[in-house]
Amino acid sequence: MKLTPEHVGKVYLIFVPLKNDGSEFELSVTPFKNKVTPHAGSYSDFPLQQIFYGAPGTGKSFRIKRDTANQSKIRTTFHPDSDYSTFVGCYKPTMSNEGDRADQEKGGGTKQIEYAFVAQAFLKAYVKAWKSYCSKESENAKPQYLIIEEINRGNCAQIFGDLFQLLDRNEDGYSTYPIVADTDIQKYLSKEFEELDVPDSLNMIYDDYDGNVAEDIKNGTVLALPNNFYIWATMNTSDQSLFPIDSAFKRRWDWKYMPIDTQKENWNIEVDGNKYSWTVFLEKVNEQIFEVTKSEDKKLGFYFCRANNNVVGAEKFVSKVIFYLYNDVFKDYGYDRKMFKDENGKAIQFHEYFQCNGDINEQKAALFLDNLDVKPIGENKEE
């Protein structure tokens, strides 16, 4: 193939067959598909693996929702019982129909239970990411997000297993070290990727790979993350995590701290016929929390609870906010601070915020606010 000016500015793979018989060389010129930048605009600046962390109610999930608006995403939540099978996939009993196609279309046939491999959040996102990457609909692959809520509530080492190695990304955003897929996963992926056209240009990225990595990805025999696959997670620093995240796992992520912003919206607390500023309350109570715990982890973020029409009612204030303070923050430090005292200086037990019929004792809730020096809106503090 003769090189012309139209080839200037483009990247090509040029194969030069070596001949020892004195014959002329023939150049084989193949365009190199540019998949290094998966998408245009601000998204190219986003970290591929990122954990949003901070106190409860600081808007971590909201930030992810905003940044991934109109993008393809799959969500999952970690918990103490999460494991590799619930994150990646496993065999599960499923219903199937026996009989000819006509019977099945009419709703007939015999239903029976059989075991089939069922993909979970990671594999679903992985498949969508590669299909988007290999799509010819646009020059740049659209991003695929896997969102993990409460990542520190699960045993990450157990949940990720050998997928941990895929989190190492090279400078172009691909997994540095492909891993061999389990037989069950390989069978599932080979079926999902049957019509997939994985570009041979990937072999340039994995030039030290023993084999054809593009073909092996298509066949499902190896796993590697494309550079349009984003894994984002949230982490509440206040959680009493059963499984601390080790430093090796942490190094694979970018970390985005979400500070407490008490000036978000004009919310009020309505208790005992009065309105109190939610912002003032947060500032006062967070001072108390820091004085006792010497940490910001237990502080309350602005969205710790949701207001209805900008109002946090007495029921929600007591059952969610005061309960959190009693049960999660001050339980290990005692209740000898002024905000927990009644008119006689005696510690208020949590059950005293409720009447015998289960209704809120709003006078006790109002006293709690007064002890924090949070005054009703419009009341002159000097009076």
Question: What is each CA distance from 61 to 171, 286, 295, in whole angstroms?
Answer: 28, 21, 22
- pLDDT value, residue 288: 96
Cβ-based burial of 265 (10 A; exposed 0-12, middle 13-18, buried ≥19): exposed
Supply the DSSP string of 320-379, one letter for each residue.
IIIHHIIIIISTTT-S-SGGGB-TTSPBPPGGGGB-TTS-B-HHHHHHHHHHTT-PBTT-
> What pLDDT sits at residue 92?
84
Q: Mean pLDDT for the chain?
A: 86
DSSP-based three-state secondary structure for 195: coil
Could you tell me which residue, 33 or 213, shows the higher pLDDT? 213
3-state secondary structure (DSSP) of residue 111: strand
pLDDT tens for residues 44-97?
579 999 999 999 999 999 999 999 999 999 999 999 999 999 999 988 887 776
Q: What is d(CA 369, CA 284) in angstroms, rounded to the nearest whole number?
A: 9
CB 48 within 8 A of CB 227: yes
User: Does residue 125 or residue 104 have the better pLDDT?
Assistant: 125
Nearest to 175 by CA among 229, 106, 98, 112: 229
* Mean pLDDT of the 154-178 span: 95
pLDDT of residue 30: 46
Average pLDDT estimate for 221-232: 97
Q: Report pLDDT digits (tens) over 231-245.
A: 999 998 876 556 788
Distances 100 to 94, 113, 164, 208, 382 between C-alpha atoms, Å: 19, 17, 44, 49, 85
| Cα–Cα separations (whole angstroms), residue 73 to 82, 85, 262, 289 | 20, 20, 30, 36
Question: What are 118's strand-pairing partners?
Answer: 90
Per-residue pLDDT, 308 = 95
- Give yes or no for residue 179 having a pLDDT over 90: yes
Whether the pLDDT of residue 128 is over 90: the answer is yes
In the predicted structure, residue 181 carries a pLDDT above the cut 50: yes
DSSP state of 154: S
Residue 378 is predicted with a pLDDT of 81
Domain locations in the chain as residue ranges: 42-82+122-257, 268-371
Determine the Cα–Cα distance for residues 109 and 127; give it in Å rounded to an integer: 31
203 is written with which tokens? Answer: 């072999």
* Least confident interval from 31-45, 97-111, 235-249: 31-45
Q: What was the pLDDT predicted at 102?
A: 53
- CA torsion angle for 212, 87, 154, 244 (degrees, to 10)? 0
Q: What per-residue confidence (pLDDT) applies to 108?
A: 57
pLDDT at 216 over 50: yes
CA angle 98–119–84, rounded 5-degree value? 130
Between CA 244 and CA 277 the distance in angstroms is 36
The CATH number that domain 42-82+122-257 falls under is: 3.40.50
What is the Cα–Cα distance from 282 to 217, expressed in whole angstroms?
A: 51
DSSP state of 194: T
The region of weakest confidence among 32-41, 218-227, 238-247 is 32-41
Reply yes or no on whether the pLDDT at 361 is more than 70.
Answer: yes
Comparing 10 with 47, the larger pLDDT belongs to 47
Q: Are strands 179-180 and 222-223 parallel, antiparallel or unpaired?
A: antiparallel
How do residues 264-283 score in pLDDT, each as one tens digit?
789 999 999 999 999 999 99
Predicted local distance difference test score (pLDDT) of residue 368: 97
103, pLDDT greater than 90? no
> From the centroid of its chain, how far is CA 204?
31
pLDDT band at 98 (very low <50, low <70, confident <90, very high): low
Percent of the chain with pLDDT strictly greater than 90 = 69
Q: 355: alpha, beta or left, given left = phi > 0 and alpha = psi -120 to 50?
A: beta
Q: What is the pLDDT of residue 42?
A: 37
Rounded mean pLDDT of 283-304? 94
Asked whether the beta carbons of 112 and 198 are under 8 A apart, the reply is no
What is the model's pLDDT at position 100? 55
Q: Write down the pLDDT at residue 241.
A: 58
Reduce the DSSP state of residue 83 to 3 states and report it. coil
- Comparing CA positions, the residue from 289, 236, 280, 275 lying closest to residue 262 is 280
